[in-house]
Structure 1
């Protein structure tokens, strides 16, 4: 069942259990919650419901005659991959249920007898995640349309090369530039989504960018392959995207001041984040790192309680970079920590929250950053800007909204657009670009350039 067939009417929730009194209890619990409730007493009947009409979420018991809950959820995943799946299981079956979570893509598992609040909250979050997926799909459709336009332009350039051999070299250079702009465009889209997750939290402004750049530096120091390092960078930009489903007041409250129930709620955001990103092929690996970036090295983290090297290496890197910035912002402990205090905290948690070897490398990097030599760059006005120059910093407005991302190559058309923007705003724009004598592949994480006031 494809994404396009899911309608936008009342959310449908399917309850599956072979015991009538369980179905009756689920009906009483969820009645009045704004859902259209469907019921099935067997796996076959559940699949008939899914085939007949779109379902947003399914709550299914593990132990049933014929098809058990795992088989039912696996079949539903094949028929309707966008349906969120919740598994009911007894305490005796907990180990086998946990081992199958990744296999069938379970959103949550709930033990019986359940707490009404926990189950109703899980169903509500599953339905909200489904709704967020629809919003994400609409945004992605715009990006895909732009990508198709760029590919069409590339095809037209190739046709011109064949027709006018005298312009072969110039056409090939234009094609390479278009591919590079496509890559920069994708990264710009990621940065926009990253900023959206910070939009309503002034305290978090710049957090995602700092985490991404810090994680990238640590990954390079640890010898990660270039593609793996880039995946870590993208995951850093998007690691908090799931927080858009969490109330703002909880998102910016220090972890130490949250109640147990509030911590459980906030702790769901890595899973929600993975769900929002998993529809983008290029973000499949970063999405997995987002899911696991709050796992702890000793196995006490969330959401899957992975331990040691069972945690993806990129997620272990991301955990250190994220916690360091949150310590500096005062979002983990009751007060902000200075650089040395945060350093001491990380060292004390090595082997507990963090990979000890990664902590050592991170602290070495912290000790060396003050001695780093910046990439040569020039600060120019628009009248000094020339086509072919490359931005060495992000260009943002005075309100901190991104105009152009670092690494963007300047064109004559873009200079004219910036001049028009400068005239409209009646404020001088200054731009930081790479010194023409600097090598392009030396571009390192840099501060953000703002308009002059």
Structure 2
């Protein structure tokens, strides 16, 4: 049952002048009903009669029952109500107690600014109304879910159910704004796994792209917030494919017909639209939209070029392409052969400035995934060859880090290693990965 008193506010304070002052401010607001109590015990009695109040504002320092104690008991009587505490600057520890035990969403200090006080209280009431509306919508969604049961035997049914659950989670997130971090991450993971219902071969694709893109962003010295945006966008970059024909989803994009290509090019925009309902995902949505833009401006959907493509989008584009090539090559792939394909598109599809960093990250990532078919071998620096991949980090004799594990050797790196082995020789050679049954020499 949806509460009737959607605009009712209860103020609890032992000072009558405080009650009158706050009540007078709120009388100027339309449709707000104000209830007052001069003690915690009186406030509980009022809540018993009005358990559906929208917001409770309680003073912290009151005789008999503190604000923290009152709010803790009020939570069991009116669990949906937004709770706030009114406090002086000297009561910060008690205020934290009210937040932790009483579930207060915020505190307002005395003396207050009238405009800020009214804004805070009206926004709290609006949040309560949105929560109640969300409950009504959730009940409606549950009713509609019953109509989807007849689809349970088909693939389309499973995708629709997954999408409905995701939309419900995302709507709850948008309305409440205070969902726990664990649920936030689970929602993102649910989004990223939805495409797997259409294309089982792609179930690990999002996680691989995200792992490579996130670590590449970190090595490229993006801020922690930017790295997190890249991680989330990479996990969700293909969410716009939900609803697309499975035959298109699982097909090499370079082999699509004109009709299929027209449908395929819509998924970046659809993906952005899906996540745009959540304010916290809008920056990730921008990267989702541009992950198929080409560096030379020939990509889609907006034909952005060069630096006009957000850096995170340029990173995800390379990581996405690498994992797609590996998936199509299957067990026959080698990182060197994949990166050769990537390098051929440098300057046309991909930003050439990023490739060295992403190559090192991707090499380390996919070697870890495929280590069961590789073994490491110690090689003398003089016997190193371009294309070899480091199985261990390389340090000089005095402990200076020369190269990280997973780095792919080229002529410049080999030359540098040989020089360090002459100047500051380690006690052992260089360890590289080689396929089982082969040697590095």
TM-score, shorter chain, exceeding 0.5: no
